[in-house]
Amino acid sequence: MKENKTEQMTKERAAQLWERFSLAADRIAGISKMTDEESGIAERYAPYFRETAAFVFKLMVEWDLQVHEPLMERTPIESLRIRNRSLYEDILPENYESCYGNPAYAVKLYGEETGRLLAFLYAELHSQIASVYEGEQEELTIRMELFLEIYQAFVCAREDGKETPSYEELRQIVYWFVSDYSETETEKRVRSQLDPEQDFFLRIVMESDLSNCRYLYAYGEYITGCEEQLASYLSTLPEETIEKIADTFTEGYRMGFLVGGKDISKKKTVNIRYRAGFERVIRQAVLNFRKMGLEPVIYRASLSIFHRRGAGRIGFCGADANKQFLYDHREDEALYLDRKYVGRKLEELKRAYELSAELASVHGGPACLEAFGEIPFAPQAKKEALQLSESQRRLSVEYASASGGLVNQYIKGEERSFTIIAFPVPEIGERFPEIFDAVIQINTLDYHLYRNIQQTMIHTLDQAEYVRIKGCKGNRTDLRVALQTLRAPETETLFENCVADVNIPVGEVFTSPRLEGTNGLLHVTRVYLNGLEYRDLELTFTDGMVTAYRCGNFKTEEENRKYIRDHILFHHDSLPMGEFAIGTNTTAYVAAKKYGIEDKLPILIAEKTGPHFAVGDTCYSHSEDLPVHNPDGREMIARENSYSIRRHEDEAKAYFNCHTDITIPYDELGELTAVSKQGEWTVIRDGRFVLPGCSELNLPFSCIDDTELS
């Protein structure tokens, strides 16, 4: 039978790709063995290219092993550990000071401009460990070719009697690399987020022997003793415990659709996000989702310049080999980001979603199993790292807004949902099994109890014009949060009664504040947001907008302000207070105090352990027009503010595409009082619930001594 034209083209393309791959691999292998004199470039750059080529050659060796031994079934686990560490050892903290991927080291050797660019190149090549394991030959090939093109620029410079090519010449090579491959990279990334047939991760979860930690090394992620211990611990738990965890996770997802009045039967896929080691829970979750008619989609948190989002990781991931390495490269797009690129990137994103429109229309949204308990990370700000210019920051904000709106056109906010649950990992300490059991309890608390108490609280808050919040014990918070106005109190409410659905665990009531009239200072002595530590954090609000901010992390106010602007304001000049909430999960608060893990709680749990304030979009972003009702039948009407209402005229001016919760812990809370013209009702005083009908929330405090809570 004759091959059809498509099959012939596919074979020809595969043959061409293999030829490119082989040529690049051979050339790089040669560079890795060259002496300084043989390299053909200025002597001081020879070690960089030789050692970087040696790293790429190491990837080639691993590629060959994966081709011939893809499941590593016969390789001793100790050999797998050695191979895994070998791929990441150069960026580990103990080796990072003399790593070419460290901008400080590269700049010290090669100067500010060239050093930064070469550090970027090293980091981009390092991101390709994932491509080796997923068999993504093209991904690896184009980056090897980028390395060779930059190397050749140094060769040509030497031939012309110069030590180095100009920085602009090198930057243009990077610019056109990103520009040329942006279309295919965007298309691949969108499909990986929507297409269940891309099942690399699913096969590991569903087909591996999860009682043997060997399977963890099939991902290509950095694996430590923590991931092995987690997988081993979960393998010892009774099946009913695994089912209880998975059922809570998946039922929260289903309830998100039900409570939001959304039809889950229209959806066919769910994106599952998790960390290596949780596979036994994820396997059961997959089975649960399939009973709902949902097929899982799992994609990796990419470290490539094409898909990296700051210093965070969204998607499946293993351990972070070095958080400082990720932080140092969070703004590498400064090399190429300009208006032309942003325009093209948006066009490519739209095209990618057009190609996957059918898949997007039946995608239900993410189900996230977060891990917590790692040693808190306080980053070092390095002047040598690439940094966005002010104009690039504005472009970054513009792109985030436009791309967020575009994605919402294809995966409609009013039709999708999500859920998030979190569990600790062994790094949390020697009492990990106790803490894990405590978190199971926290995540499965009786929501009926909380629903009724929270409804009592909401009844009082609905009568108020504003809420007054003041700190104590060194907390300088002094805030007045304005509330919106009820039109029909008998059928409407200002606060959503949040039980265990999309945000697990149970325990908060929340609203979108009225921005006008929301004024004052929000202060926390220490908080961890999205994996980063903030000390002595202050945000000042004027009519609901952040007008001043500072923290005490770094020596200079300039560094502190930049830290907040980059990671809380996300490059915006200001953000509104998008949410005001009162957390009621005193069980979680007391458990954190008991085990000394307050600094390790994820926002998901921490936000339930005191009042919290989110800067950015409201909780109803892109879903404001969808009615939401509390269990008592009242409609929650405070779903938008004076920014999100602009969506009717210009969506780009309505949303900020970020939302960061900042919690004041109970022990720093002096007062939370609802105020109206008719009177005042104190909900919390000196860290305890004093509103009639809410005293049961104070019972967990009696489990430990007051000295432990101070």
- Is pLDDT at 709 greater than 70 in this prediction? no
Neighbours of 390 (CB within 10 A): 8
Which tens digit of pLDDT belongs to each residue from 645-682? 998 888 878 899 889 999 999 999 999 999 999 999 99
Q: Cα separations (Å) of 237 from 33, 181, 234, 240, 245?
A: 50, 46, 5, 8, 11
pLDDT for res 312: 73
- Residue of 421, 423, 408 lying closest to 255 (CA atoms): 421
Tell me whether strands 496-498 and 419-424 are parallel, antiparallel or unpaired: unpaired
The C-alpha atoms of residue 281 and residue 369 are separated, in whole angstroms, by: 9
Average pLDDT over every residue of 312-323: 92
* Measured distance CA(10)–CA(375) in Å, rounded: 48
Beta bridge pairs of residue 685: 671, 688
Q: Please report, as a single letter, which amino acid is at residue 45.
A: Y
Cut 0.85: pTM above it: yes
Alpha-carbon torsion (331, 337, 338, 342), positive or negative: negative
The tokens describing 398, both together, are 């513009």
**pLDDT tens column, 107-138:** 999 999 999 999 999 999 999 999 999 999 99
How large is the average pLDDT for residues 580-600? 93
The pLDDT tens digits of the residues spanning 600-626 come to: 888 889 889 999 999 999 998 888 888
pLDDT at residue 710 tops 50: no
Q: How far is residue 284's CA from residue 281's CA, in Å, rounded to a whole number?
A: 5
Which amino acid makes up residue 502?
V
Q: What confidence tens digit (pLDDT) does each residue in 16-35 have?
A: 999 999 999 999 999 999 98
| SS3 state of residue 225 | helix
Determine if residue 522 is left, alpha or beta; phi over 0 gives left, psi from -120 to 50 gives alpha, anything else beta. beta
Please check the confidence at residue 71 and state whether its pLDDT lies above 60. Answer: no
DSSP-based three-state secondary structure for 156: helix
Average pLDDT, the chain: 92
Q: How far is CA 102 from CA 31, 302, 320, 512, 632, in A?
A: 22, 19, 15, 42, 56
Across 185-208, average pLDDT: 96
In this prediction, residues 460-466 reach a mean pLDDT of: 96
In the predicted model, is pLDDT for residue 447 greater than 90? Answer: no
Q: Which of 516, 437, 450, 435 is nearest to 483 (CA)?
A: 516
Exposed e or buried b per residue across 439-474, where buried means at least 16 C-beta atoms within 10 angstroms of its C-beta: beebbbbebeebbebbbebbbbbbbbbbbbbbbbee
SS (H, E, C) 226-272: HHHHHHHHHHHCCHHHHHHHHHHHHHHHHHHHHHCCCCHHHCCEEEE
User: Residue 414 pLDDT > 90, yes or no?
Assistant: no
What pLDDT is recorded for position 70?
A: 58
- Which contiguous run of DSSP H or E holds residue 582? strand 577-583
* Choice among 69-78, 464-473, 502-511, 525-534 with the minimum mean pLDDT: 69-78
Give residue 7's pLDDT: 66
Who wins on pLDDT, 13 or 102?
Answer: 102
Mean of the pLDDT values across residues 192-215? 95
Walk across the sheet containing 577-583 and list its strands.
496-498, 508-511, 577-583, 611-616, 659-663
